[in-house]
Structure 1
């Protein structure tokens, strides 16, 4: 049977996927905005244990079409190990159509393009990777461990190897004072990457995370209001110029769920944001008590 080491997280679009933990925790685990894996030390799961779970799934869940490999950056696995896992998945699950995983910029260090292509050829179809912000000062403050240029570079390498990308950004990371620059720089970075999917989350802090007043060295720093977060999302979408990106804000942290293709659906997305901003009682606006990570 399948056993999980809690907590387990997955992207909204993997709600119907079989989740298998190939690793535990996150290799970086220092981002100021994220406490998801604070209680876990990064560990590569014993391969025999994972393969046994795949065999069990093949016997009991042969109808599975999608698999998500957890935890925080399963792409940290060596190419050879990842290929063995993928081969077993496709051998045991005859209906399997796609396998996805979280990745971090650090996972690409020392990876040759040939290795990336081999993993893609073995059946890892899409990577979820956090850009968070296109503003290097914000990335430095939140301890992302990478620059915007480096993130763009690894994304382009992943695409060259054949991976689809789903890139996440976080509304509110720069607070009110840095909101406009954060949105503009993030739009510019997304234009350079041109991922298949771009997904927005809205910053939500927990007691396990450091004070952002300290992170930004500003005692006046504060979270965005709902109206400010919606306005920042509007600036982000309006500033994006690349065509063909599927934009989503369906994560539960957001005040408004959006879905559309840029540039085709940009006017309707902006109009919807304007409508909700104009009506604080709009049923489309997610109330604070329903927001969640």
Structure 2
């Protein structure tokens, strides 16, 4: 019998083949103006009994599981004792387990003490997926992110200090045509100050269901980037990063998928982007893109 999930269910592209266990439902913040993922799904914390029942059922279906993603939007919002109990149950029922990961917000990383983060890492929580979106304080305010660049940097540093890797996402096009340079340059500065292990880019897609809210909160006419503008942002970002990281733009929203290690593959990635900007590389059709 397959696991029953409370829909909609989201997970990062890198977790496509891994077991997903829902520890929470929805998102505890749920006010980012660019995100429609959980707008119709109220936030709640699932009982420990319900989560462990799912783990036991999953162990019967996929006993060989080595990686688990804890959903929904920010499982890290759970109290530390409950998270530790979930991690312990995962290791009891899935003895081959090598890694657990989850989405995290800057706030719920910073709400954990350094000791609690270390305990979580010791029990197998090895990776946070963190949406930083932008390093620009202005862009974060205009999109109601609920975080500051300084808070994002502290969260990354706190996770790293506990030995937990961070996979960060940046949204290309978030500043539109008028703020694209500030958006990218501030993001470069943030990532060079608080380095992450993995970095992925998404392209801005404003869901029609929340478009009115997005444009209203932006506070001025929003001039969307075209594909050339998105590629230009991508190139500027890659050129400016000076810390080692694994880079991906494999999310379905991207016009042009890329993959490489920085700084080793910087020139190769920039050359691919230049070919794409000249029309020598095919871009993903619009109808195949989405958040």
Which TM-score applies when normalising by structure 1? 0.96
Contact 2:142 2:219 in 1 (8 A): no
Q: 1:213·1:222 contact (CA, 8 Å) conserved in 2? A: no
1:136-170 alpha-carbon deviations (Å, 9 max, x no partner): 00001100111001110011001101101101110
Partner deviation per Cα, 1:180-234 (whole Å, 9 max, x = no partner): 1111111111111211101100000112214343222223x22210111111111
Structure 2 equivalent of residue 250 of structure 1: 250
Mapping of 1:14-33 within 5 angstroms? Answer: 14-33=15-34
Structure 1 runs of 4+ with >4 Å offset: none
Pairs within 5 Å for 1:263-274:
263-274=263-274
Q: CA deviation at 1:109?
A: 4.1
Contact 1:171 1:232 (8 Å CA) reproduced: yes
**Which consecutive unaligned segments of at least 5 residues does structure 1 have?**
none
Alignment of 1:121-132 (within 5 A): 121-132=122-133
For residue 153 of structure 1, give the secondary structure of its aligned residue in structure 2: helix
Q: 1:289: how far off? A: 1.1
Q: Which residue of 1 aligns with 2:218?
A: 216
1:177 partner SS: coil
CA distance in 1, matches of 2:61, 2:233: 46
Partner of 1:104: 105
User: Partners of 1:210 and 1:147 in 2: how far apart?
Assistant: 23
Gaps of 5+ in 2: none
Alignment size in residue pairs: 289
Structure 2 match to 1:182: 183
Query: CA deviation digits over 1:58-82, x for unaligned, max 9?
Result: 2221111111000000011111111
- Greater displacement, 233-242 / 132-141: 233-242
Q: CA RMSD in A?
A: 1.1
CA deviation map 1:248-287 (0-9, x unaligned): 10000001111111111000000000001101x633x111
SS in 2 for 1:68: strand
Contact 2:107/2:155 (8 A) holds in 1:
no
- What is the deviation of 1:105? 1.1
CA–CA separation in structure 2 for the residues paired with 1:162 and 1:188: 22
Q: Are 1:227 and 1:277, in contact at CA under 8 Å, matched by a contact in 2?
A: yes
Q: Secondary structure at the match of 1:215?
A: helix
Aligned-partner Cα distance in 1 for 2:29–2:211: 16
For normalisation by structure 2, the TM-score amounts to 0.97
Output the CA distance in 2 between the equivalents of 1:141 and 1:110.
24
SS in 1 for 2:21: strand
| Match in the other structure for 2:96 | 95
Alignment partners' CA distance in 2, 1:61 and 1:213: 44
